[in-house]
């Protein structure tokens, strides 16, 4: 299984574990158009990792339904216009449209004519296309090179309530599941964003998990850190997610941007005491089902101990 990694950053770009974005809540907030996409100094390493994954495991990182190419093209055109205006130093026009300066954009031939694949090679975000049908909003196409413990193939073609079925409190028939459907239905011109976060061992961007693996993990509850050494191996994985309704197709584009930071970076943060205290409190508040879902049942107490130590030192 691929284990390539990307450079890490200091200090963290986003700290939703400060209490501003609590786990297992919806937490959507309005997003200004100028802030839709995030580009930073790690753009080229992210794109290189996407290119590697497209070459090695293409069927696991890209899916599309028939009839989605027009919407995919709409995504590509919206992104191109946005990137050329907002980040003129990082992008340039070409005969084919647009490219990231310094990036190798040649994808395997199987992706020729798939605009969403081309769009994905412009940005650090993963791109998921959601389409409304008789059963609600379903995953109709997607480029997912950096999954946070889920499988694109398992979610492909499924409606939102089935996609979120493994999430504690978000399964079919729950109030949060109904709220999410209504939010998708009501989304118009205003883009929105939310944050999610988790802890993982190591800094791999490609971090998938099948339903079978999730059940096995919850049953056996192993530690995911070598020798249980949280301090040395724990990375904070922050997901910045955005939702934007496409004006022509009416589909919704769901973007997911991954930020990875070693847990130890908090020790150098000027607000480390506040961040570590909030982080520890939120881990303490997770119930058994939530801990199993996050894969933290065996490691929660170790993480809290490290964070409390940081808070005292702060």
- Whole-number CA gyration radius for the chain: 19
* Whether pLDDT at 121 is above 60: yes
Task: Residue 107: count other Cβ atoms within 10 Å of its Cβ.
Answer: 19
- Choose between 133 and 95: higher pLDDT: 133
- Give pLDDT, residue 10: 62
Residue 148, strand partner residues: 207
Asked whether the predicted pLDDT for residue 107 surpasses 60, the reply is: yes
Compare 205 and 216 and report the one with higher pLDDT: 205
Residue 201 half-sphere exposure, CB side, CA atoms within 13 Å? 14
Task: Tell me whether the omega of the peptide bond preceding residue 11 falls within 30 degrees of 0, making it cis.
Answer: yes
CA distance 12 to 269: 8
CA distance 58 to 52: 9
- Residue with the bigger pLDDT between 167 and 12: it is 167
**64 within 8 A of 72, measured Cβ to Cβ:** yes
Distance separating alpha carbons of residues 79 and 312, to the nearest angstrom: 45
Please report the pLDDT score of residue 268 as a whole number. Answer: 85
Which residues 6+ apart lie within 8 Å of 213 measured at CB? none
**Mean pLDDT of all residues in 257-267:** 92
pLDDT, the chain, mean: 93
Quote the pLDDT of residue 4. 52
Stretch 92-100: mean pLDDT: 92
From 216-225, 231-240, 298-307, the region with the lowest mean pLDDT: 216-225
- Mean pLDDT, range 39-54, rounded to an integer: 96
Position 2 pLDDT exceeds 80:
no
- pLDDT by residue (tens digit) across 278-293? 999 999 999 999 999 9
Q: Quick one: three-class SS letters along the chain?
A: CCCCECCCCCCCCCCHHHCCCCCCCCCCEEECHHHCCCCCCCHHHHHHHHHHHHHHCHHHHEEECCCCHHHHHHHHHHHHHHHHHHCCCCEEEECCEEEECCCCCCCCHHHCCCHHHHHHCCCCCEEEEEEEECCEEEEEEEECCCCECCCHHHHCCCEHHHHCCCCCCCCCCCHHHHHHHHHHHHCCCCEEEEEEEEEEECCECCECCCHHHHHHHHHHCCCCCHHHCHHHHEEEEEEEEEEEECCCCCCEEEEEEEEEEEHHHHHHCCCHHHHHHHHHHHHHHCCHHHHHHHCCCCCHHHHHHHHHHHHHHC
- pLDDT, tens digit, for every residue of 52-81? 999 999 999 999 999 999 999 999 999 999
Q: How confident is the model at residue 215 (pLDDT cuts 50, 70, 90)?
A: confident
* Residue 135, C-beta contacts closer than 8 angstroms, at least 6 positions apart: 159
pLDDT at 1: 45
Q: What is the pTM of this model?
A: 0.94
Nearest alpha carbon to residue 265 among 214, 205, 180, 199: 199
Report yes or no: 202 and 158 within 8 Å, Cβ to Cβ: no
pLDDT at 9: 54
Is the pLDDT score of 202 beyond 60?
A: yes
């Amino acid at each position: 299984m691929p284990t390539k990694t990307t450079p890490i950053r200091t200090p963290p770009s986003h700290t939703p574990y400060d209490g501003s974005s609590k786990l297992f809540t919806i937490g959507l907030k309005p997003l200004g158009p100028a802030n839709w996409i995030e580009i930073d100094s790690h753009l080229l390493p992210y794109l290189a990792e996407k290119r590697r994954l497209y070459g090695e495991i293409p069927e696991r990182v890209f899916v599309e339904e028939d009839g989605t190419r027009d919407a995919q093209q709409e995504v590509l055109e919206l992104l191109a216009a946005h990137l050329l205006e907002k980040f003129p130093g990082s992008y340039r026009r070409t005969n084919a449209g647009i490219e990231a300066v310094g990036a190798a954009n040649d994808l395997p031939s199987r992706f020729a004519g798939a605009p969403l694949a081309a769009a994905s090679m412009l940005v650090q975000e993963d791109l998921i296309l959601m389409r409304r049908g008789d059963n609600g909003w379903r995953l109709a196409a997607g480029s997912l090179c950096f999954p946070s413990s889920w499988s694109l193939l398992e979610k492909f073609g499924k409606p939102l309530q089935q996609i979120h079925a493994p999430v504690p409190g978000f399964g079919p028939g729950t109030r949060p599941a109904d709220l999410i459907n209504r939010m998708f239905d009501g989304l118009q011109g205003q883009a929105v964003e939310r944050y999610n976060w988790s802890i993982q061992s190591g800094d791999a961007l490609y971090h998938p998990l099948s339903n079978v693996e999730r059940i096995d993990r919850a049953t056996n509850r192993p530690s995911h850190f070598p020798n249980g050494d949280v301090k040395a191996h724990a990375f904070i994985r922050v997901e910045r997610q955005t939702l934007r309704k496409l004006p022509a197709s009416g589909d919704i584009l769901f973007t997911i941007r991954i930020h990875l930071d070693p847990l130890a970076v908090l020790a150098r943060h000027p607000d480390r005491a506040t961040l570590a205290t909030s982080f520890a409190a939120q881990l303490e508040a997770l119930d058994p089902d939530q801990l199993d879902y996050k894969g933290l049942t065996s490691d929660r107490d170790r993480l809290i101990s490290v964070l409390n130590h940081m808070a005292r030192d702060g």
